[in-house]
Structure 1
Amino acid sequence: MVNGRLSHIELFAFDHEPSTDRHLRPGSLYLLLKLTCGECACYGQCVILPDDGVFDLTKWGAYLRCIRHSTAQEILQTVTLQEHEWTTGQRVLLHSALSALLQDTNTAAALPLSVLFGESVSYYSILT
């Protein structure tokens, strides 16, 4: 398990799976959550289909503010207490990143910043 507190939370949205030619179902978004804790960065990912076709990543990702400044154990407690208020996509995304954080593994082989920023259609960052 990674020790220390989160130093950065980043959420990227893509209209395709990054660094691949795999296209998603029309209207779907591939979301990638990057949690940084010290020198370790862990990733979570999910695919969502926004309800109304209009998607605001900042609003959708606002739930992540509740984990700012948190340790992995504190995030786990927050998830247990609050996940009933979140959408399935929000739960899946945070669970996958948290799993990597608790196991101290870098999932979803780190994509270069050029890919993350060059291919994403939207970006949301929470400084902690």
Structure 2
Amino acid sequence: MEQEEEMLVRSIYYGRIGSEATERLLERFGHDGSFLLRDSETVRGAYCLCVRKAPYVHTYRLVHSAGHWYVQGSGVTSQRFRTLEALIETYRRSQVAAMPSLTDPLDKTQLPNSMGQEFFYMELNSSTSAQ
């Protein structure tokens, strides 16, 4: 993740956690509309925007191409944005039929200490091993 990303993106970015850990996090600490950002497990350099809408966690791949970010596939209109922050804020403000409402960022700094430290540790390990 680039250093200039804004505070929202930094607070909801959980790094290299898997889909199962994401689901457990959103089920335990979130509610309908809670969302977080993680690294894609299958596409290098892409992120996943994960949104809880019980009983599921919906995942949308965010891809960077030609200097812009966009949501890949999933029936979401392919608008392009200069930053991840702009993409997320746009989808937060507008109701998109193909995407559950993004109402509540799951801020990792607001999690109980044990969970926050666990995911912080995972993020540090993944960033040092990936570079």
Higher RCO (CA < 8 A, seq sep 6+) = 1
TM-score, normalization: structure 1? Answer: 0.33
